[in-house]
Amino acid sequence: METLKNIFLYDQESPLLFTRLYFWGFYAFVLAVYSIIYKKNALRNGYLFLVSLFFYYKTGGLFFFILIFSTTTNFFIGKAIYNSRTPLSRKLFVALSVFLSLGVLAFFKYDYFFTETINNVFNTKLEVVTHAAKWSNVLLGTHFDIGKILPPVGISFFTFQTISYTVDVYLRKVKPVKSITDFGFYVSFFPQLVAGPIVRAAQFIPQLYKKYTLSRYEFGLGLYLILKGLMKKMFVGDFIAVNLIDRVFADPITYTGFENLMALYGYSLQVYCDFSGYTDIAIGVALLLGFYLPKNFNSPYKAKSCGEFWKRWHISLSSWLKDYLYIPMGGNRGGSLFTYLSLATILIFIVLIAGKLWLAPLFTVIIAVIWLLTRLFPGLRLTISTNINIMMTMLLGGLWHGSSWMFVLWGGLNGVGVVVYKFWKKISPYENSTHWLANFWKIFITFNFITFTRIWFRGETMQGTYDLMHQVSSSFGWLLLPGMITTYWKVFVVMIFGFVVHWLPDALKVKYRDWFINTPVYLKIIICTLVIFIIYQSLSADLQPFIYFQF
């Protein structure tokens, strides 16, 4: 009886993660049933929708009702958009979809922040009560803090997918699906449900109606991606996090500047291995079920500029922000009303984060000055508007990660990096050079800049970020280097391994990937066994959650 409860009931201490043995038992069961019904598309889609709901319930508990609400409302709104006879009604329905989707997202991600800010600014005593957490505590025996709203796991990812669906239906890029189970399957497909990649309706929905096929090459590729993802996450990312990064960031002032610097470089590797490892596994798991998910990472630390980095990192989010935020604001064509609305939204957030109402009139003056400059100097209008659009996109991307100064600064710095490079490349003496030294220099500068911005992305407090920078600049610990290298030698070996593999030429990576795919089954079994053994040897006592689950 206790075993059945553990299998079917939600346990907040044991979410259904790719890194847990329970997930692979779940996946084996899914495949076993799937092998019987895969030829019948409607039955197949409905079955995968149900197991995806179970997956989300095991991962997020009663929050899966939020997923059901989002799925149901956007399914019927999508139909209403398509069947509307006037442009106005179509616009009103798509606006309703965006309002409901972003409203739910804002409530769970920012309600506590807004309530706390209002209390601080206006000296009120408003309280936040999370009824979903209260019900979960009563029904499931969990121990959530009902006074603090925690966002449902993966809410940003399935919200962005539902928005892309209704907007694409509005733009006539895709027809609405006929069955709610098909739409539910698209929204909740379990491999990518909680941490992406974000899948566009136009990319995925046509796959719902195709026959299942899986070639020998696709089987080998799916298995390869799963093994690669597990190695990235568990052998590299988790090992250096537990043995260096988490310790240093918890209290930077107690470690030398060298340890802080290594932890910062280590975090750049960890967050890449953690997130890209998840999406590698997700793509591999989906491929074995006969579905293609979009590539989400393309060796981002090979980027030669900040702009290129964001075309290689979390590609599905970057392209979503470009298509549904940057371009509607005007993109590189100039400003629009949406530009100034986005600017106002960000500045309101900054006022609330700072808790200083006097900033509101100051920011109003700044917006007015910008608008006046674009009118007085028509030649600068396009340049100013385009760069504002870039900054707004990056700042909103930062605020998507969280409502704090840390994420505002992180997003703002990345926006500055993109804008500055746009001007620099016009005067750079080596911009068009193909010499290896010029390429190395560009990659070196870009990687170090991105790593520097992660001080605010990973730092636990603003004071902690100051402590880290202080230690690196004034207490490096040169005399202690031999001892620290000896102490952390295993961590450094794993870090070197991770960075070397990342920076290998793409052609070489394709060769050893295709070699694995073309190996006979018995050799695949041997390699899988060896990989599992290596991962097992590097495991810590507690499995580490995926970093992007919190977003």
Q: How far apart are CA 19 and CA 6, in angstroms?
A: 17
Report yes or no on 394 lying in a domain. yes
Alpha helices (H) along 193-336 = 201-204, 216-230, 238-240, 246-250, 257-288, 306-312, 315-321
What is the domain range of residue 475? 213-297+461-551
**Of the residues 203, 228, 247, the one at which a domain ends:** 203
Select from 189, 108, 139, 105 the least CA-distant residue to 12: 139
CB of 144 closer than 8 Å to CB of 12: yes
Both 186 and 78 in one domain: the answer is yes
Report yes or no on 455 lying in a domain. no
CB of 441 closer than 8 Å to CB of 425: no
User: H/E element holding 390?
Assistant: helix 378-401
**Predicted pLDDT at 452:** 95
**Of the residues 180, 203, 226, the one at which a domain ends:** 203
Q: How far apart are CA 377 and CA 380, in angstroms?
A: 6
| Beta carbons within 10 angstroms of residue 427's beta carbon | 7
- pLDDT tens by residue, 372-427: 877 777 767 777 778 888 888 888 888 778 777 788 889 889 999 999 998 888 88
The conformation of residue 519, written as its DSSP 8-state character, comes to S
Report yes or no on 304 lying in a domain. no
Handedness of CA 75, 80, 82, 87 (dihedral sign): negative
**Predicted pLDDT at 374:** 73
Both 421 and 374 in one domain: the answer is yes
- pLDDT tens by residue, 151-163: 677 788 888 899 9
CB of 495 closer than 8 Å to CB of 269: yes
10-residue mean pLDDT profile of the chain (551 residues): values are 62 75 90 91 91 87 84 93 89 89 80 70 68 59 58 81 90 87 91 84 88 92 95 92 92 94 96 93 94 93 94 90 77 67 73 70 78 74 79 82 81 90 87 88 96 90 89 90 92 95 95 94 92 81 64 61
**Of the residues 159, 175, 203, the one at which a domain ends:** 203
Report yes or no on 2 lying in a domain. no
Residues whose CB falls within 8 Å of the CB of residue 492, separated by 6 or more in sequence, listed in order = 262, 485
**Predicted pLDDT at 431:** 81
Both 222 and 138 in one domain: the answer is no
Both 321 and 289 in one domain: the answer is no
CB of 358 closer than 8 Å to CB of 429: no
Report yes or no on 220 lying in a domain. yes
Both 89 and 130 in one domain: the answer is yes
Report yes or no on 486 lying in a domain. yes
Both 292 and 330 in one domain: the answer is no
**Predicted pLDDT at 287:** 95
Phi, psi angles (nearest 5°) of residue 199: -105, 125
**Predicted pLDDT at 547:** 67
**Predicted pLDDT at 47:** 93
Both 252 and 126 in one domain: the answer is no
Both 157 and 22 in one domain: the answer is yes
Both 371 and 505 in one domain: the answer is no
**Predicted pLDDT at 487:** 92
Report yes or no on 433 lying in a domain. no
**Predicted pLDDT at 109:** 76
**Predicted pLDDT at 140:** 56
Q: How far apart are CA 276 and CA 442, in angstroms?
A: 23
Report yes or no on 329 lying in a domain. yes
* Number of domains forming the structure of the chain: 3
Q: How far apart are CA 240 and CA 266, in angstroms?
A: 7
Both 283 and 357 in one domain: the answer is no
User: Above pLDDT 90, what percent of the chain?
Assistant: 41
Both 242 and 194 in one domain: the answer is no
Report the residue count for the chain.
551
Both 491 and 398 in one domain: the answer is no
Q: What is the mean pLDDT of the chain?
A: 85
Amino acid (1-letter code) at residue 111 = D
